[in-house]
Amino acid sequence: MNGLTTAIYEALANDTTLTDMLETYMGEPAIFSTDPAPGDATLPYIVTAGNVADAAYDTKTRQGRQVWRDVRCYAAANGSAAVVEAMAERVRALLHRQPVDVTGYDNEVIECAGPITQDDPDAYGRIVTIKLLAMEG
């Protein structure tokens, strides 16, 4: 389901409210579909790479997929989590119950869970997990 990566990136990168919170990388918003993010990337940025889970979602007449993916937001550990929390809430607002165009599939439902905390000594992190139910089109 390679189209999911593109769909998520476009939904996030095309929102100026979100991209204004992010650094840039090579002239683009710092939203990465590789894990880990490039070593020379500067916080704050977003990583959404690969599926957490991918299962069949078939009916009697159609085949489908149920996919979970984490969208991880990171910002500098500077004593306040305000930036990373705002990023994660914006990611949730952009994706929860919103249609996503994934080539070859009819989107049925996209839902978000979180954000939940994933801090470390160097960065504050928040994770929004999306669940996509899609039927082959």
Provide the pLDDT for residue 102. Answer: 83
pLDDT at 105: 85
Number of domains in the chain: 1
Give me the domain span that covers residue 102: 2-136
Strand partners, 71: 128
- List all residues 6 or more positions away from 44 whose beta carbon is below 8 Å from its beta carbon: 21, 22, 23, 30, 73, 74, 75, 76, 83, 84, 87
Instruction: CATH number of the domain at 10, please.
Output: 3.30.2000.30
Q: Let me know: does 74 contact 45? Beta carbons within 8 Å.
A: yes
pLDDT of residue 6: 87
Give average pLDDT by consecutive 10-residue segment, the chain, 137 residues: 82 97 97 94 95 91 92 95 97 92 80 95 94 87
Give the model's pLDDT for residue 106.
81
Check residue 125 and give its pLDDT.
Answer: 97
Q: What residue type is 73 in one-letter code?
A: C
